Amino acid sequence: MRIDAISIFPEYFGVLELSLLGRARARGLIDVQVHDLRDAAHDRHRTVDGTPAGGGAGMVMRPEPWGETLDAIMAESAAGETSDDGPIIIFPSPAGEVFTQAMARELAEERHLVFGCGRYEGIDQRVFDEYGDRARVRLVSLGDYVLNGGEVAAMAMIEAVCRLVPGVVGNPESLVEESHEDGLLEYPSYTKPADWRGRTIPPVLLGGNHGAVRDWRREQSIARTRRVRPELLPPDLRDE
């Protein structure tokens, strides 16, 4: 999978060198290219923002550096890609649709993702309109809160998507039993020692009865989901 990230703080993406994703990059499963938006700002101060048309607080990102950077990425990827199987351009934004595990699964099937990370009060609307005509564009929010910019949100999405790319996570079975994969929150996990500060492991987990373990884990998942995220419960598990 190819991933391009555009930002005025490319250093944010340095952590993609670490851990599972770093290994996946080294093994060629994921190709991440980070672009400094200011490389496409050609005045002396490398300006990327301006005051909002119509007035108001804050600054808005100008369209030209975005146009130049996105055009270069699109031109490079144009070989062999049409607007249907060309890149999906994702702009992290608190005004977007909410990112979910289902969206992560969908995006993990793609060949090429582009993350356009805005700062300030947002990006000039004409950028979304221009690339919406030429590619698949999505505004995506990490949740109902406001970050300083799209970088941290893009990092979270990149991690959630890349770990679903075949080969990135060594044991694919570990993906199956996670929170959200079956629509429920994950059950509690334990490991050695059997007694820690007087706190013991539930006996069912040490009894060797796999059926009983499976039933216990499912009950725990349902109880936890009912307690903290009741809106996630499938209809047949509600109102018990």
Which member of 7, 69, 141, 221 binds ligand ADE (CB under 6 A)?
A: 141
Residue positions forming the annotated binding site for S-adenosyl-L-methionine: 118, 142-147
Among 44, 56, 84, 145, binds ligand ADE (CB under 6 A): 145
Question: For residues 35 and 216, which CB has a smaller minimum distance to ligand ADE in the complex?
Answer: 35
Kindly state the number of chain residues that form the binding site for ligand ADE, as judged by CB under 6 A: 12
Candidate segments 15-23, 136-144, 176-184, 204-212, binder of ligand ADE by CB under 6 A: 136-144
Dihedral sign for Cα atoms in the order 15, 148, 4, 156: positive
Task: Decide if residue 146 touches ligand ADE (CB under 6 A).
Answer: yes
Q: Do 129 and 72 meet the contact criterion of CB atoms below 8 Å apart?
A: no
Is the CB of residue 146 less than 8 Å from the CB of residue 134?
Answer: no
CB of 150 to ligand ADE, least distance (A): 5
Query: By C-alpha distance, which of 139, 119, 120, 118 is closest to 129?
Result: 139
Show the beta-strand stretches assigned E in 105-185.
112-116, 136-141
Q: Are 123 and 65 in contact (CB under 8 A)?
A: no
Contact string (CB under 6 A) for ligand ADE, positions 90-129, x = contact: --xxx-----------------------------------
Angle at 108 between CA 103 and CA 111, to 5 degrees: 125
Q: Which segment (86-94, 103-111, 126-134, 171-179) binds ligand ADE by CB under 6 A?
A: 86-94
> Taking CB under 6 A as the rule, does residue 160 contact ligand ADE?
no
The nearest distance, CB 183 to ligand ADE, in angstroms, is 23
Per CB under 6 A, does 52 bind ligand ADE? Answer: no
What does the alpha-carbon distance between residue 178 and residue 187 come to, in Å, rounded to a whole number? 9
Angle at 6 between CA 5 and CA 9, to 5 degrees: 105
CB of 91 closer than 8 Å to CB of 30: no
**Residues near ligand ADE, by CB under 6 A:** 92-94, 141-143, 145-147, 149-150, 153
